[in-house]
Amino acid sequence: MNDTHRLLLAHRSIRKFTTDPVTDDQVRDIVACGQAAATSSNIQAVTVIRVRDGAKRARLAELAGNQPYVASAGAFLVFCADLNRARLAAEAQGGTFCEGMTEHFILATVDVALAAQNCVVAAEAMGLGICYIGALRNNPQAVSELLDLPRLVYPVFGLCLGHPAQDPEVKPRLPQAAMLGEDTYPAEGMLERIREYDAELHEYYARRGGGTKDSNWSLEMKGVVGKEARPHMRAFLAERGFTMK
Amino acid sequence: MNDTHRLLLAHRSIRKFTTDPVTDDQVRDIVACGQAAATSSNIQAVTVIRVRDGAKRARLAELAGNQPYVASAGAFLVFCADLNRARLAAEAQGGTFCEGMTEHFILATVDVALAAQNCVVAAEAMGLGICYIGALRNNPQAVSELLDLPRLVYPVFGLCLGHPAQDPEVKPRLPQAAMLGEDTYPAEGMLERIREYDAELHEYYARRGGGTKDSNWSLEMKGVVGKEARPHMRAFLAERGFTMK
């Protein structure tokens, strides 16, 4: 264990920020660290839009289900999966773009997440706090129009960055035995491990919320996977050129 | 800039490893750092399979287009997107699993990449080198069978970990102006920025390969996006329960 490990293990989402600014130099360095992440076939399929404009920030906060920190955080970045830049480059060389491959969609989405997580580590190493905003996918069409995203680009998530004005506890994770297998999928005992984690998370919620939140992981998952999730995504992506052949 | 930033900026893939072992404690700590990454709705949709078995490692190396370091690296991890665990938990609570949502596919794939990138940072902070193996998607069905992956789980990529036996140069990335926009997509001047990067990368390849590799980013992209890529992915994913509604 060294300082970097302690930094990674101390991660928690921050949703309250001071008014201290995030500087241009900080954003440049954070994004440079993001770019340094591995990228499949060097495609570098990530584009970051830093949103400064107050009206756009307010609109994004609203589109993300009224999350006020989207508007108020020191900086807000939108991470986009981008195949448009590779298309431009290929076509400038007399090549074509083979549209609609599921594989290209995966590759671009993974590239974005790898880069974003490096940005997060870089930001936290500066003492900043962060919060991913997956809710940009609530209305990705409106987000795309607001930021003039071309075809073959889609907003994967947002990222709030700022100086923390809160110090929440780190949330416990699944026991490693429930998510790390050796040579095979760790099916054996998985339900027991989930029950152990349910008990741990129940206690965490009771402690953190002053006894007001009565939940556990299984109950959370019942909500998360038990119903349709953003059912517009398929058609939205197809319309942007990600037709998933 | 601090030590963590320097660590992130120094990343390059390592494909030659010494025979020094990666210890169980190291793998445990690396995976714990992976688990600490943000996760959408706390779903923690990542399962890691550490492959130790020699025959399985040899088979995976072969399936990944004969990449020998898949078999020889100190440790090899397969990162899987896993909705099966959430399904189990939800069903144990009397819930159901709403199958086939594109959104759940995105969420799980992003979760895996965030966790994996934290693992990479943790490993590099220990002095280990890494190489992502996207080529596990060359034949994801065979990989799934080899590791007994249940439905609702798919292998996103592999990760070689080990003590570096080479010290390659860091590969230059796109100029930030080509991938960072302010309030809007950075369309303006993008082709010029790509040309600048083409020149830089051309020089890098010439220098690194002793003058044998004559390429640039646009030429690479012509190859990457100009043809069908892993056209089996759509049907494979559907068969595993990721039908993309």
Q: What is the pLDDT of residues B49-69, one digit of tens each?
A: 999 999 999 999 999 999 999
Q: How confident is the model at residue A1 (pLDDT cuts 50, 70, 90)?
A: confident
Mean pLDDT of chain A: 97
| Contact residues, chain A, for B85 at CB < 8 Å | 174, 178-179, 190, 194
- Domain residue ranges in chain B: 3-169+228-239, 176-214
Q: B244: helix, coil or strand?
A: coil
Identify the pLDDT of residue B213: 86
CB contacts under 8 A, A 183-212 vs B, are: 183-187, 190-191, 194, 198
Domain A3-169+227-239, classified CATH 2.60.40.420, yes or no: no
CB contacts under 8 A, B 121-160 vs A, are: 121-122, 125-126, 130, 132, 134, 137, 147-150, 153, 156-157
Contact B191 A92 (CB under 8 A): yes
Long-range contacts of A223-228 (CB under 8 A, 24+ apart): A224/B41, A224/B43, A224/B86, A224/B90, A225/B43, A225/B83, A225/B86, A225/B87, A225/B90, A225/B95, A225/B97, A225/B98, A225/B104, A226/B90, A226/B95, A226/B96, A226/B97, A226/B98, A227/B98, A228/B98, A228/B101
| pLDDT above 80: residue B209 | no
Q: Mean of the pLDDT values across residues B123-149?
A: 98
| pLDDT above 80: residue B210 | no
CATH topology for B3-169+228-239 is NADH Oxidase (3.40.109)
| pLDDT above 90: residue B197 | yes
Identify the pLDDT of residue B176: 98
The answer to whether A11 and B36 are in contact (CB under 8 A) is yes
Q: How confident is the model at residue A230 (pLDDT cuts 50, 70, 90)?
A: very high
pLDDT digit string (tens) for B13-29? 999 999 999 999 999 99
* pTM, to two decimals: 0.98
A169 in contact with B, Cβ within 8 Å: no
| Contact residues, chain B, for A13 at CB < 8 Å | 38
Strand order, beta sheet including A129-133:
A129-133, A153-162, A75-82, A46-50, B180-182
Residue whose entry in the numeric block shows the structure tokens 């190396």: B61
Q: Mean of the pLDDT values across residues B136-156?
A: 98
| pLDDT above 80: residue A211 | no
Burial of B137 (0-12, 13-18, 19+ CB in 10 A): buried
Query: Using CA atoms, how far apart are residues A175 and A194, in angstroms rounded to an integer?
Result: 8
Q: Mean of the pLDDT values across residues B135-144?
A: 98
Mean pLDDT of chain B: 97
| pLDDT above 80: residue A136 | yes
